[in-house]
Chains A and B, each alone.
Chain A
Amino acid sequence: DAKTTQPNSMESNEEEPVHLPCNHSTISGTDYIHWYRQLPSQGPEYVIHGLTSNVNNRMASLAIAEDRKSSTLILHRATLRDAAVYYCILREGNYGQNFVFGPGTRLSVLP
């Protein structure tokens, strides 16, 4: 199974950009890169996903390396509400249903 590695924790100041890295050196050619976050006492929440090209949505941007062995989730202006555990996940398997979470990065946002 393709795995991801992320830093255990990161800190950011409020209203500054945050770059959350993820390494996935064993990614296969058709694996999508997904990012989810989990706020305290809530279920995981979809943030963004991509395959090869960089992606933007209202929540974040996803920058994918040309060789696809790493990616970076970018929060353009961190707010206190962005404090959460961020998970980088590869969607793999015959039907993409073996959705396995890694340990994730705990993001703290300082006022």
Chain B
Amino acid sequence: DTEVTQTPKHLVMGMTNKKSLKCEQHMGHRAMYWYKQKAKKPPELMFVYSYEKLSINESVPSRFSPECPNSSLLNLHLHALQPEDSALYLCASSQASRGRGYGYTFGSGTRLTVV
């Protein structure tokens, strides 16, 4: 299995809703990432988990709450979002190593619309 699977593919939520995005990989990668991508813009790094511990938080608002329950699964919990949070949310994974030669595998993303 060489894929990163993200669910759901599309999500519409109200500003008072609570929802979660899910990301799964079975490649044995011990680093997992959340990116946010607005239309016509490059992906922006949000969070990095290494060996199931949060290692990077790029000053993301607390209405986004990541969770890494095990080495294969990464969640992003959403609460009280704003319309400007509408975007494509991408998950990625990679080897967690001091070596920088490893590539990243990205999922296809969850298209989120906040209404």
Given contacts A43-B108, A44-B90, contact A97 B42 (CB under 8 A): no
CA distance in complex: A77, B112 (Å): 36
The 8 Å CB contact of A98, one of B56, B90, B97, B105, is B56
Listed in ascending order, the chain B residues whose CB lies under 8 Å from chain A are 4, 31, 33, 41-45, 48, 50, 55-56, 90, 92, 94, 96-109
Number of interface residues of A (CB under 8 A): 27
CA distance in complex: A102, B43 (Å): 9
Which chain A residue shows the least CB distance to B31? A97
A9, chain B: closest CB distance, angstroms = 12
> Chain B CB within 10 Å — which of A46, A85, A102 has the most?
A46
**3 shortest interchain CB distances as A-B pairs:** A96-B100, A43-B106, A101-B42
Chain B residues contacting A30 (CB-CB under 8 Å) are 100
